[in-house]
């Protein structure tokens, strides 16, 4: 049975697929708010493909409760990359659509407002793909939200390993310039990095956190040049980082290496920088070469990546798409194990998961500030040109040997390259 529903403003609905065909069957509803438009849209890529995959899975492996097949309905709203809209849409899912579970992915700007709604109304929530620290710090206690990703101390250590490859190890006294926005994510990163950089003997050049959607980075670029900064690090929305890179290039700041979160993860964002992206380093949370196998579908990471390429003009599957896929894996596991849509039973089933997903093993055995979470693998990557095509290569796996190396570090000055479009073929 296929059910159509007309939803109100700001909504995007993917046609729900029933696991069976009886009009009297019970329906389970999963709600998902995704940044389809706005500054975070790159993180939201591939969500429709992921949901199609979950519907295909439900056709072949119907979800059952008390021995009977149930209908699966997934409802998606656009957050517009705005926290206020995101929270409003999450409330819409709970109060109007009566969803049984919520899924929250795609950076703290999306995860935190959805988790707030889950906690307020007592709805089980699968959350992923946002650093643990800002999510944990957003509330004193979480009862309904179970998170999976890495901590900022972990990503700091990932970046330090990349700096070491570039010739700037701990205790080297290298000058590190900070580029963090004045938002919840930027503040969490900033505070951890300032503490850890000081402990590791780096010289910190901190211009202060800049306002979101900043159009001018001239004063920051001038400071970094005056201080002869060697390493630049931060986490930024792609438009902000683009503006920062233009200022760095304009003032010819001779940076030796750049490590950036958020804005350097997806090919679409990196390629927008043109040749300035070559040499840019970032964390890698998922790669198609990893040997993780989904307990739910039996697919490997490479299997899922190949299916994505087949359905999307041979494009490589973005990292966030893999995490969206894994989030739905967890939701379906919980629904099956709960054998019920009772929210407390669903919460219990979710909390007890110990499963393999395409992004690695998930077991909720860590706690930070009342947030129960699972630590996911992370490696260090660098954007490199391969046969004229921009590719993100995994160049360090010191934190997680299970992450397969796909390249080696290449010295590049990323701050003074020409801003020209790169080939989109073979991505």
Q: pLDDT tens digit string along 17-39? A: 444 444 467 899 999 999 999 98
Pairwise CA distance, residues 274 & 26, whole Å: 51
According to DSSP H, which parts of 262-342 are helical?
Answer: 267-272, 301-311, 319-338
In a 13 Å sphere around the CA of 224, the CA atoms on its Cβ side amount to 32
pLDDT tens, 372-390?
Answer: 999 999 999 999 998 888 9
> pLDDT tens, 326-370?
999 999 999 999 999 999 999 999 999 999 999 999 999 999 999
DSSP label at 101?
E
- Asked whether residue 14 carries a pLDDT value surpassing 70, the answer given is no
Q: Rounded distance, CA 361 to CA 363, Å?
A: 7
Nearest-5° Cα angle at 423, 243 to 390: 70
Note the pLDDT tens digit of each residue in 153-200. Answer: 999 999 999 999 999 999 999 999 999 999 888 999 999 999 999 999
- Dist. CA 346–CA 331, nearest whole Å: 9
Q: What's the residue count for the chain?
A: 427
Start-end of H helices in 43-183: 47-60, 83-95, 108-121, 132-137, 152-165
Between vectors from CA 380 to CA 287 and to CA 274, what angle results, nearest 5°?
80
Tens digit of pLDDT for each residue in 289-338? Answer: 888 999 999 999 999 999 999 999 988 899 999 999 999 999 999 999 99
Which pTM value belongs to this model?
A: 0.88
Task: Report the mean per-residue pLDDT for the chain.
Answer: 89
Mean pLDDT value across residues 71-86: 96
For residue 215, the 8-state DSSP code is: -
User: Which carries the bigger pLDDT value, residue 403 or residue 413?
Assistant: 403
- Please answer whether residues 155 and 381 qualify as being in contact, where contact means their C-beta atoms are separated by less than 8 angstroms: no
State pLDDT tens for residues 265-294: 888 888 888 777 899 999 999 988 888 999
- Distance, CA of 416 to CA of 228 (rounded, Å): 15
The pLDDT tens digits of the residues spanning 217-259 come to 999 999 999 999 999 999 998 889 999 999 998 999 989 999 9
* Contact (CB, 8 A) for 115 and 139: yes
Question: Does the pLDDT of residue 55 top 70, yes or no?
Answer: yes
Contact status, residue 102 vs residue 110, Cβ threshold 8 Å: no
Residue (of 356, 338, 288, 335) closest to 61 by Cα position: 335
Sequence-distant (≥ 6) Cβ neighbours of residue 189 within 8 angstroms: 131, 152, 180, 234, 235, 261
Which tokens in the block code for residue 3?
Answer: 């059910």
Q: Are the beta carbons of 108 and 36 closer than 8 angstroms? A: no
Percentage of residues in the chain with pLDDT exceeding 70? 91
pLDDT at residue 68 tops 80:
yes
**Residues 142-160: pLDDT tens digits?**
999 999 999 999 999 999 9
| Listed residue (303, 301, 257) closest to 282, CA to CA | 257
Cα angle: 174, vertex 177, 182; to 5 degrees: 150
Query: Which two tokens mark 1?
Result: 């049975």
Q: How many CB atoms neighbour CB 235 within 10 A?
A: 28
pLDDT at residue 83, rounded to an integer: 95
The answer to whether the beta carbons of residues 326 and 262 sit under 8 Å apart is no
Is the pLDDT assigned to residue 106 strictly greater than 50?
yes
Ramachandran sector of residue 381 (left: φ over 0; alpha: ψ -120 to 50; beta: rest): beta
In Å, the largest CA–CA distance within the chain is 71
Whole-angstrom Cα distance, residue 374 to residue 85? Answer: 28
Residue 281's DSSP bridge partners are: 259, 382
SS3 label, residue 321: helix
């Amino acid at each position: 049975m296929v059910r159509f529903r007309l939803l109100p403003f700001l909504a995007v609905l993917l046609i729900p697929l029933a696991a069976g065909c009886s009009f009297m069957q019970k329906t389970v509803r999963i709600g998902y708010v995704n940044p389809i438009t706005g500054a975070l849209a790159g993180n939201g890529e591939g969500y429709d493909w992921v949901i199609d995959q979950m519907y295909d899975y439900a056709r072949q492996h119907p979800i059952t409760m008390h021995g009977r097949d149930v209908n699966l309905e997934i409802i998606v709203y656009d957050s517009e990359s705005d926290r206020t809209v995101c929270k409003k849409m999450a409330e819409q899912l709970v109060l109007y659509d009566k969803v049984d579970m919520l899924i929250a992915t795609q950076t703290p700007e999306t995860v935190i407002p959805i988790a707030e709604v889950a906690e307020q109304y007592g709805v089980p929530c699968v959350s992923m793909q946002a650093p643990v620290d800002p999510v944990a710090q957003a509330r004193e206690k979480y009862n309904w939200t179970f998170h999976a990703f890495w901590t900022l101390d972990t990503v700091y250590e990932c970046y330090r390993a990349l700096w070491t490859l570039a010739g700037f190890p701990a205790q080297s006294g290298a000058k590190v310039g900070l580029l963090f926005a004045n938002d919840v994510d930027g503040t969490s990163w900033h505070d951890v990095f300032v503490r850890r950089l000081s402990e590791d003997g780096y010289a910190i050049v901190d211009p202060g956190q800049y306002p979101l959607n900043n159009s001018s980075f001239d004063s920051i670029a001038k400071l970094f040049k005056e201080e002869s900064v060697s390493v630049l690090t931060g986490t930024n929305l792609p438009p902000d980082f683009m503006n920062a890179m233009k200022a760095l290039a304009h003032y010819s700041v001779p940076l030796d290496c750049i490590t950036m979160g958020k804005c350097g993860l997806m090919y679409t964002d990196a390629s927008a920088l043109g040749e300035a992206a070559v040499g840019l380093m970032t964390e890698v949370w998922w790669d198609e070469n990893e040997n993780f196998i989904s307990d739910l579908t039996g697919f490997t990471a490479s299997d899922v990546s190949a299916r994505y390429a087949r359905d999307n003009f041979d494009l490589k599957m973005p990292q966030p798409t893999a995490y969206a896929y894994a989030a739905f894996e967890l939701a379906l596991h919980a629904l099956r194990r709960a054998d019920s849509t009772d929210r407390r039973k669903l919460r219990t089933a979710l909390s007890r998961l110990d499963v393999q997903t395409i992004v690695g093993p998930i077991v909720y055995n860590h706690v930070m500030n009342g947030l129960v979470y699972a630590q996911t693998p992370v490696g260090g990557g660098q954007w490199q040109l391969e046969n004229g095509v921009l590719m993100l290569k995994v160049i360090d796996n010191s934190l997680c040997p299970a992450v397969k190396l796909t390249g080696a570090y290449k010295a590049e000055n990323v701050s003074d390259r020409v801003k020209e479009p790169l080939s989109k073929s073979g991505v």
